[in-house]
């Protein structure tokens, strides 16, 4: 059925990584009903190093046609375009924490959306110093901004953008589409690091951000339809650190600040979610770690649907027959 739908839409040739797979509960963007709240993974690789295989961390929840972008890793604007999300509809951006694989294109996303024709308000949410980052970004790029306002009739960008620094958990906003709740998670040495929950009328979606195994994330994700959880494949850690100088510090960071795929399964089971999505994969591009290895590791403790995240994958979850 899924395949027939895609063929009718003219998407007869799909890259292998986007092909629907039995039991994975995911398809290419565009296959879902428009009215349904959508979740699209924009970038699923962990870490700031630009890669061929995967983009840096970013995802978008689209409720009633309004995009809520979570994290702004390298290439997020282009990934949104690739997913068919008009940049002119950008409305909310949520940053989980101040690591560059989540923030590198924060300013660029707003600036390029504005260059693409955005004329409406954007609210941004995340840990300090989000306000200073926003202000300094526009100051740094004032030559282009002032030129485009003068030459192209663009509206001023600064008044459109409203940053909100988030320092504690709780409900951040409730609009006509979703309620958004934050929780503080554990990602030393950065603090605060945030997870976000989106409760729409038809489904609930939780994004872990970067975190060690976290009880506050379990509480935030309680009963959710979908949990997107960062994942570390433990046996590959030694191969990762062998590639970098200062390896001992990196290894300790990875082990203290992230969650193994096996523990992702434990968290998903403890929270009682329906679908677990493994994303922010570390390693992001190790050919020795197969899809089955990731899934099998998470499967040890979780009986629900498990999805291995791929760039530009739309996640439906088991609550959404396609
Ligand atoms: Zn990260
Ligand atoms: Zn991080």
Q: Which residues pair with 193 in a beta bridge?
A: 185
In this structure, the dihedral spanned by the alpha carbons of residues 315, 316, 318 and 322, taken in order and rounded to 10 degrees, is: -130
Ligand 2 center from residue 4 Cα (angstroms): 39
Which ligand is the nearest neighbour of the Cα of 97? 2
Q: Does residue 288 have a pLDDT over 80?
A: yes
47 Cα: distance to centroid of ligand 2 (angstroms): 8
C-alpha 256 to ligand 1 mean position (Å): 13
Categorize the per-residue pLDDT at 89 as very low, low, confident or very high, splitting at 50, 70 and 90. very high
Q: In the predicted model, is pLDDT for residue 74 greater than 90?
A: yes
Ligand nearest to the CA of 47: 1
pLDDT, residue 318, reads: 61
pLDDT of residue 240: 78
Measured from the alpha carbon of residue 102, the closest ligand is 1
Q: How does residue 105 score in pLDDT terms, banded at 50, 70 and 90?
A: very high
Residue 7, pLDDT > 70, answer: no
pLDDT at 25 over 80: no
Helix extents (H) in 9-155: 76-82, 100-103, 106-115, 130-140, 142-152
- Write down the pLDDT at residue 2: 42
- Examine the pLDDT at 6 and tell me if it is beyond 90: no
Reported in sequence order, the residue ranges of the chain that DSSP labels E, i.e. its strands, are: 26-27, 38-43, 58-63, 66-70, 92-94, 122-126, 161-165, 170-174, 178-187, 190-200, 204-207, 226-232, 275-282, 305-308, 313-315
CA–centroid distance, residue 187 to ligand 2 (Å):
7
Could you list which residues have their CB under 5 Å from ion ligand 2? Answer: 99, 210
What is the average per-residue pLDDT within 102-119? Answer: 98
Cα–ligand 2 centroid distance for 106 (angstroms): 15
Distance from residue 194's CA to the centre of ligand 1 (Å): 12
Is the pLDDT score of 231 beyond 50? yes
> How confident is the model over 45-72, as a mean pLDDT?
96
Say how far apart CA 107 and CA 109 lie, in whole Å: 5
DSSP per residue, 44-61: -B-SSS--SS-PPSEEEE
| Ligand minimally distant from the alpha carbon of residue 193 | 2
Confidence of residue 5 (pLDDT cuts 50, 70, 90): very low
Which of 30-39, 140-149, 265-274 has the lowest average pLDDT? 30-39
What integer is the mean pLDDT of 76-93? Answer: 98
76 contacts 85 by C-beta, under 8 angstroms: no
Mean per-residue pLDDT over the chain, rounded: 89
pLDDT of residue 239: 81
Mean pLDDT confidence for 308-316 = 96
- The Cα–Cα gap between 201 and 177 comes to 8
**pLDDT, tens digit (0-9, with 9 covering 90-100), for 236-285:** 887 878 878 777 788 777 889 999 999 999 999 999 999 999 999 999 98
Ligand 1: centre distance to CA 245 (Å):
19
- Of all ligands present, the nearest one to the C-alpha of 101 is 1
| Nearest-angstrom CA–CA distance, 65 and 53 | 29
* Segment 157-214, tens digit of pLDDT: 999 999 999 999 999 999 999 999 999 999 999 999 999 999 999 999 999 999 999 9
pLDDT of residue 228: 98
Question: Residue 247 in contact with residue 140, Cβ under 8 Å?
Answer: no
User: How confident is the model over 83-93, as a mean pLDDT?
Assistant: 98
- The bound ligand whose nearest atom lies closest to the alpha carbon of 232 is 1
């Amino acid at each position: 059925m899924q395949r027939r739908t895609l063929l009718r839409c003219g998407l007869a040739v799909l890259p292998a990584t986007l092909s629907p797979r039995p039991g994975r509960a995911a398809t290419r963007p565009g296959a879902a009903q428009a009215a349904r709240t959508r979740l699209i993974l924009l970038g699923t690789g962990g870490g700031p190093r630009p890669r061929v295989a995967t983009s840096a961390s970013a995802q978008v929840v689209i409720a009633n046609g309004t995009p809520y972008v979570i994290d702004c890793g390298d290439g997020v604007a282009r990934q949104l375009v690739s997913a068919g999300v008009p940049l002119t509809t950008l409305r909310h951006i949520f940053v989980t924490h101040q690591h560059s694989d989540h923030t590198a294109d924060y300013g660029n996303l707003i600036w390029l959306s504005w260059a693409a024709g955005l004329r409406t308000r954007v609210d941004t949410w995340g840990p300090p110093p989000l306000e200073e980052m926003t202000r300094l970004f526009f100051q740094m790029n004032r030559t282009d901004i002032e030129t485009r306002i003068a030459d192209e009739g663009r509206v001023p960008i600064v008044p459109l953008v409203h940053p909100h620094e988030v320092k504690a958990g709780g409900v951040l906003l409730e609009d006509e589409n979703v309620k958004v709740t934050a929780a503080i998670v554990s990602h030393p040495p950065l603090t605060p690091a945030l997870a976000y929950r989106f409760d729409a009328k038809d489904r609930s979606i939780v994004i872990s951000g970067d975190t060690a195994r976290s009880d506050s994330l379990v509480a935030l994700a309680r009963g959710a339809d979908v949990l997107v959880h960062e994942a570390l494949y433990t046996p590959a850690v030694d191969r990762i650190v062998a590639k970098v100088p200062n390896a001992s510090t990196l290894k300790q960071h990875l082990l203290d600040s992230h969650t193994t795929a096996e523990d992702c399964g434990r968290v998903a089971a403890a929270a009682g979610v329906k679908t677990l999505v493994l994303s922010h994969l570390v390693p992001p591009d190790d050919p020795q770690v197969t899809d089955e290895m990731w899934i099998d590791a998470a499967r040890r403790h979780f009986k629900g649907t498990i999805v291995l995240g791929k760039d530009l994958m739309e996640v439906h979850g088991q609550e959404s027959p396609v």
